[in-house]
Chains A and B, each alone.
Chain A
Amino acid sequence: MNAPLTGAFEIAATARPAWTPPPASPPARPRLGLGRPAPLGWLLGPGLLLFYWSVGSASGFIDARILPSPWATVATAADLIREGRLQTNLAVSALRAGEGFVLGVSAGLVVALISGLSLTGGYVFDGLVQMKRAIPTLALIPLVILWFGIGEVMKVTVIALTVFIPVYLQTHNALRAIDLRYVELAETLGLSRWAFIRSVVLPGALPGVFLGLRFAVMSAWLALVVVEQLNAASGVGYMINLARTYAQTDVIVVGLVVYALLGLVSDSAVRVAETRVLSWRRSLAS
Chain B
Amino acid sequence: MSAVRVRGLTRRFTLRGVLNGVDLDIAPGEFVALVGASGSGKSTLLRALAGIDHEAQGEGEIAVPARLSVVFQDARLLPWKRVLANATLGLTGADVRTRGLAALAEVGLAGREDAWPHELSGGEQQRVALARSLTREPELLLADEPFGALDALTRLRMHALLKRLSETHRPAVLLVTHDVDEAIELADRVVLLEAGRIAADIPIDHAAPDRAARFLALRASLLALLGVEDPLSDEPKIPGPTRSMGR
Show the binding face of A for B, using Cβ within 8 Å.
181-182, 184-191, 195, 199-200, 203-204, 206, 278, 280-282
Contacts of B79 in A (CB 8 A): 280-281
Per-position 1/0 for B119-134, Cβ under 8 A of A: 0000000000000100
A3 to chain B, nearest CB (A): 17
Whether B80 pairs with A182 at a CB distance below 8 angstroms is no
Contacts of A281 in B (CB 8 A): 79-80
Contacts of B81 in A (CB 8 A): 199, 203, 280
Show the binding face of B for A, using Cβ within 8 Å.
50-52, 68-70, 72, 74, 76, 78-81, 89-90, 116, 118, 132, 136
Additional pairs, 14, CB under 8 Å, beyond known A188-B52, A199-B81: A181-B74, A182-B78, A184-B52, A184-B72, A184-B76, A185-B76, A189-B89, A189-B90, A191-B90, A199-B78, A203-B80, A278-B80, A280-B81, A280-B118
Chain A, residue nearest B51 (CB): A187
Whether B90 pairs with A182 at a CB distance below 8 angstroms is no
B129 to chain A, nearest CB (A): 9
Chain A, residue nearest B66 (CB): A190
With A188-B50, A199-B89, A280-B116 given, is the CB distance from A181 to B78 under 8 Å?
A: no
Contacts of A206 in B (CB 8 A): 80
Q: Could you tell me the distance between the alpha carbons of A215 and B52 in the complex, rounded to whole angstroms?
A: 38
Whether A188 pairs with B69 at a CB distance below 8 angstroms is yes
Whether A203 pairs with B78 at a CB distance below 8 angstroms is yes
Q: Could you tell me the distance between the alpha carbons of A8 and B139 in the complex, rounded to whole angstroms?
A: 50
Top 3 closest pairs, chain A to chain B, by CB:
A203-B80, A188-B70, A189-B90
**Contact partner, B90, options A181, A199, A282, Cβ 8 Å:** A199
A117 to chain B, nearest CB (A): 18
**Contact partner, B76, options A181, A190, A204, A280, Cβ 8 Å:** A181
Whether B78 pairs with A200 at a CB distance below 8 angstroms is yes
Q: Could you tell me the distance between the alpha carbons of A228 and B132 in the complex, rounded to whole angstroms?
A: 56
Chain A, residue nearest B70 (CB): A188
Contacts of A278 in B (CB 8 A): 80
With A188-B50, A189-B90 given, is the CB distance from A204 to B80 under 8 Å?
A: yes
A175 to chain B, nearest CB (A): 15
Contacts of A187 in B (CB 8 A): 51-52
B204 to chain A, nearest CB (A): 27
Whether B136 pairs with A185 at a CB distance below 8 angstroms is no
Contacts of A280 in B (CB 8 A): 79-81, 116, 118
Chain B, residue nearest A282 (CB): B118
Q: Could you tell me the distance between the alpha carbons of A207 and B90 in the complex, rounded to whole angstroms?
A: 23
Chain A, residue nearest B82 (CB): A280
Q: Could you tell me the distance between the alpha carbons of A184 and B144 in the complex, rounded to whole angstroms?
A: 13
With A181-B74, A280-B116, A282-B118 given, is the CB distance from A191 to B89 under 8 Å?
A: yes
Contacts of A188 in B (CB 8 A): 50-52, 68-70
With A184-B52, A280-B116 given, is the CB distance from A195 to B76 under 8 Å?
A: no
Contacts of A184 in B (CB 8 A): 52, 72, 76
Contacts of B116 in A (CB 8 A): 280, 282
> Most A CB atoms within 10 A — which of B50, B69, B74, B76?
B76
With A181-B76, A199-B90, A280-B79 given, is the CB distance from A189 to B51 under 8 Å?
A: no
Contacts of A189 in B (CB 8 A): 69, 89-90, 132, 136
Contacts of B80 in A (CB 8 A): 203-204, 206, 278, 280-281
A277 to chain B, nearest CB (A): 10
Contacts of B50 in A (CB 8 A): 188
Contacts of A203 in B (CB 8 A): 78, 80-81
Whether B89 pairs with A182 at a CB distance below 8 angstroms is no
B39 to chain A, nearest CB (A): 20
Contacts of B72 in A (CB 8 A): 181, 184-185
Q: Could you tell me the distance between the alpha carbons of A280 and B117 in the complex, rounded to whole angstroms?
A: 8
- List 8 contacting pairs A-B, 8 Å CB cutoff, sorted by A: A182-B78, A184-B72, A185-B72, A187-B51, A188-B52, A189-B69, A199-B81, A278-B80
Q: Could you tell me the distance between the alpha carbons of A75 and B197 in the complex, rounded to whole angstroms?
A: 86
Contacts of A199 in B (CB 8 A): 78, 81, 89-90
A80 to chain B, nearest CB (A): 46
A1 to chain B, nearest CB (A): 10
Whether B76 pairs with A182 at a CB distance below 8 angstroms is yes
B35 to chain A, nearest CB (A): 22
Q: Could you tell me the distance between the alpha carbons of A203 and B116 in the complex, rounded to whole angstroms?
A: 14
Contacts of A185 in B (CB 8 A): 70, 72, 76
B44 to chain A, nearest CB (A): 14
Q: Could you tell me the distance between the alpha carbons of A190 and B51 in the complex, rounded to whole angstroms?
A: 11
Q: Could you tell me the distance between the alpha carbons of A187 and B116 in the complex, rounded to whole angstroms?
A: 23
Q: Could you tell me the distance between the alpha carbons of A204 and B76 in the complex, rounded to whole angstroms?
A: 13
A208 to chain B, nearest CB (A): 13
Q: Could you tell me the distance between the alpha carbons of A189 and B132 in the complex, rounded to whole angstroms?
A: 9
